[in-house]
Each structure stands twice: as C-alpha cells, then as structure tokens.
Amino acid sequence: MPGVDEKDREILKILRSNGRITLTELGKRVGLSPASVKNRLEKLEKLGAIKGYSAVIDPAFLDEYVSAFLELKLAIDDHTVDSLLKKVAELENVEAVYRKTGERSILIKASFHDTDEVKVFVGRLKDLFGKNLERAEVTLILDTFKEGWIPFERRRG
C-alpha cells in the first residue's frame, strides 16, 4: 500500500483489538509522539484504512436474543444489486453484509429479538430483491467465541 509504512501497520493492528487506546499510549507503543500518531490516524482514516471504531456488544444486553446468518442465492448477482445490498447494510439490526464465492453468494449477519422478527426480516428481503431472490437460508448462531479481533468469553447455555 502506497504511503503506508510499518509504523502505520503497527498502529492499525493495535487499534484493531484496542479501539479506545489513547494517542499517548499508542505513541509509546510504536515510538512516536501523540501528535504524530494523530497525524497518522487522520491520514489512515482519509485513505480508508480505518473504516470506523466499534464496541463489541453482547447482543443479549440489547434484548437481541437471536443472532443469525442469512445466505441469499440470487438469480443475478452483479454490481447492479450493490445499491440494494447497501440498503440492507443500513438496516439497524444488520451487523455485516458480504459478497462471497459459491452459489449462496450473499451473507448477512443480523440480530433479532425473537424468531418472529427473523420471519419479518426475510419477508423484507423478498420485497427488496423481488424475483431476483431465489433462496434465503437462515442459520442460527449458537455461540460466539471471537468477534472483531476481540475474544468472547463463552456464555453458558
């Protein structure tokens, strides 16, 4: 990557598992002054290396008891559906949206209050994609051992 050196990569790696670290502490770890770290952060954000900062929340505390993956098989999956995928990504309960290889080429991770909400969500997807949506497969998440470079302690089921 142009204009990104080893120190920048160190910063990115640290931030990935420690998103709320102060500039001072970050500077100590990579051997730079807080001001320099700040400059680099602004550069990295502008370049798109840092997409944003997030806290990893246990969904149960937000009354989101059901987390699920939804895999979509589309009749046509080219960049013309990107705007629809962006719409899906903007929904409040949608945590992640990927395009991947394989027949079921869209993967969505989302959380719900109960299974009824899952049904409603699938209905919304059908409305959005219309006839282009050939199949929607739902898989429930039973356990999360790690997420976003931060390990979860296992909750007893």
Partner DNA sequence: GCTGAAATTCTGGAGTG
Partner DNA sequence: CACTCCAGAATTTCAGC
98 binds, among its own copies, DNA, none (CB under 5 to 8 A by kind): its own copies
Binding flag, residue 36, DNA (CB under 7 A): yes
39 binds, among DNA, its own copies, none (CB under 5 to 8 A by kind): DNA
Rounded Cα–Cα distance for residues 75 and 133 (Å) = 6
Binding flag, residue 100, its own copies (CB under 8 A): yes
Nearer Cβ to DNA, position 38 or 104?
A: 38
> What's phi and psi for 14, nearest 5 deg?
-65, -45
40 binds, among DNA, its own copies, none (CB under 5 to 8 A by kind): DNA
Binding flag, residue 80, its own copies (CB under 8 A): no
What element of type H or E holds 38?
A: helix 34-47
Binding flag, residue 18, DNA (CB under 7 A): no
Rounded Cα–Cα distance for residues 81 and 77 (Å) = 6
113 binds, among DNA, its own copies, none (CB under 5 to 8 A by kind): none
Rounded Cα–Cα distance for residues 138 and 122 (Å) = 9
* Spatial CB neighbours of 136, under 8 Å, sequence gap ≥ 6: 70, 71, 72, 73, 122, 125, 126
Burial class of residue 72 (count of CB atoms within 10 Å of its CB; 0-12, 13-18, 19+): buried
Binding flag, residue 125, its own copies (CB under 8 A): no
Binding flag, residue 3, DNA (CB under 7 A): yes
Binding flag, residue 35, DNA (CB under 7 A): yes
> Contact residues for DNA (CB under 7 A)?
3, 5, 7, 22-25, 31-36, 38-40
